[in-house]
Every structure is written in structure tokens, then in C-alpha cells.
Amino acid sequence: MELQEYNICFTTVSRKRPQGASADDFIPEVPPPDIEPGVLPTEIRKLVESRRAVKALLKDQGLSPEQRMQLNLRQMALKLTANSMYGCLGFSHSRFFAKPLAALITSRGREILLNTKTLVERKMSLEVVYGDTDSIMINTNNRDYKAAFELGHKVKQEVGERRMSKLSLLHIYNFKFSVLLPRRSTACTSCWSWTSTACSSTCCCSRRRSTPL
């Protein structure tokens, strides 16, 4: 997400440390917004668009089980390839190792989450109960599920218009009850989901995998 949003790439970010700066603490500057997209953001965008096209094919009700399995494997492979880029940048034995770029991605991601939390709490007077990587969990204090989804779309509009210029979040999940567990796991009951081209999480992180209890 941050790699695309901030155009982070070998070709766009200066990794030259200022004199006296520690290699462990050095975080480079975000590139100017008016420069051409770098190689990494361009390739990630292609992968994301390809996965979106494959997922659209999966909606065809006439697919055989074998065709559906093949398409699902393809979209998962595209997702894995796109998501692995950050790990490659931060892994010292990777041919793409670039610790400053990985540090910049992490710092921008933290900034996005904190800014989103501040926006939702101060402007919309909502309670953010959790945030993880690219998602937030909001207590809507509302048992009307339609109203909760509508609130999620309002959050989407605020966050999308003010914080993200190139990207949009994908899902709204609504849970009657949920329990936050260690190691990025969540137990929940009664899950409803709306999917849109641009929406944000209402009550649960979009990364979660949920099942009725």
C-alpha cells in the first residue's frame, strides 16, 4: 500500500545517508509527488490490476470446479507476489534488499494508521479499538447492521479523500461480537460483508479470515 501511495522505489528514493546518521535509524525522505512512478510501484500496480481481473472472472457462475480452482490459485499467486515485495526489501539475503526503503514503507504505514485513527476519533467521534497494518476496527455502538455499513462508507469517504490519493480499501465487515486474540487472530460471530471498489473497515480488519462460531 505505502509503496504505491508514496512512489517508493530504488529509482525514486535517495538512499544516501546524511553525514553522521546511523544506518539502523536512517529513514529516507518520501520522493516528490510530481515525479514519474518508479519501477516497483508500477509493477505492483500491474499485479494488483491482474489479480482484480482474475477475481472478476471468478464471478462467472458457469465455471467448472477445475476452472474455478485454477483461477483461484492464479489470483492467490498474484497476491503473494505483490505482498512479498516489502519482505524482499527488508530481507538481508534478498537480491532486492534495501533496508532504507523497507524502513520508509514501515514509517509511512504507521503514519497512515495514526492519522486515520486521529481523523476517525476527532472528526467523526468514533471509537477505534484496534489497528493492524492496513486496517482499523471501529466500535459503531450500533446494532442496526445497515446503519453500521452506512457509517463504514462515511469513514471510507473521509479517509479516502483526505489520506489516500492512489489507493482505496476494499471491504466493510460487520460483526455482532468479536474477540481480539494474539498473533493477529480474531474470533467473531455473525459476520456480514459488503464489497465495493472503495470502502473501509467498519468493525473488523480486512485482513481477517472469519467463520461463524
Answer yes or no: is 208 within a domain.
no
Nearest to 124 by CA among 136, 111, 110, 107: 136
In the prediction, which pLDDT does 177 show?
Answer: 64
Torsion on CA atoms 12, 16, 20, 25, rounded to nearest 10: 50
Number of domains comprising the chain: 2
Query: What is the dihedral sign for C-alpha 57, 60, 64, 65?
Result: positive
In the prediction, which pLDDT does 206 show?
Answer: 37
Whether residues 50 and 76 share a domain: the answer is yes
Whether residues 9 and 98 share a domain: the answer is yes
Whether residues 18 and 93 share a domain: the answer is yes
Answer yes or no: is 118 within a domain.
no
| 3-class DSSP assignment, residue 13 | coil
Answer yes or no: is 68 within a domain.
yes
Whether residues 85 and 12 share a domain: the answer is yes
Whether residues 19 and 57 share a domain: the answer is yes
In the prediction, which pLDDT does 171 show?
Answer: 59
Alpha carbon 80 to chain centroid, angstroms:
14
d(Cα 109, Cα 113) in Å, to the nearest integer? Answer: 6
Answer yes or no: is 211 within a domain.
no
Whether residues 146 and 98 share a domain: the answer is no
Whether residues 62 and 153 share a domain: the answer is no
Q: Do the beta carbons of residue 186 and residue 24 sit within 8 Å?
A: no
Q: How many residues does the chain have?
A: 213
Q: What is the pLDDT of residues 161-193, one digit of tens each?
A: 665 555 555 556 666 666 666 655 555 555 555
Q: What is the pLDDT of residues 64-93, one digit of tens each?
A: 999 999 999 999 999 999 989 989 999 999
In the prediction, which pLDDT does 12 show?
Answer: 95
Nearest to 166 by CA among 108, 104, 101: 108
Whether residues 18 and 52 share a domain: the answer is yes
Query: In the 8-state DSSP scheme, what is residue 185?
Result: E
Contacts of 81 (CB under 8 A, 6+ apart): 47
Query: What is the dihedral sign for C-alpha 97, 98, 104, 105?
Result: negative
Answer yes or no: is 116 within a domain.
no
Whether residues 11 and 100 share a domain: the answer is yes
Contacts of 141 (CB under 8 A, 6+ apart): 127
| pTM attached to this predicted model | 0.71
Query: Domain range spanning residue 161?
Result: 124-195
**Domain end (from 78, 106, 134):** 106
Whether residues 58 and 130 share a domain: the answer is no
Which CATH number belongs to the domain containing residue 90 in this structure?
3.90.1600.10
Whether residues 40 and 102 share a domain: the answer is yes
Q: What is the pLDDT of residues 25-41, one digit of tens each?
A: 889 999 998 999 999 99
Whether residues 100 and 129 share a domain: the answer is no
In the prediction, which pLDDT does 172 show?
Answer: 61
Q: Do the beta carbons of residue 172 and residue 153 sit within 8 Å?
A: yes
Residue 196 has pLDDT above 70, yes or no: no
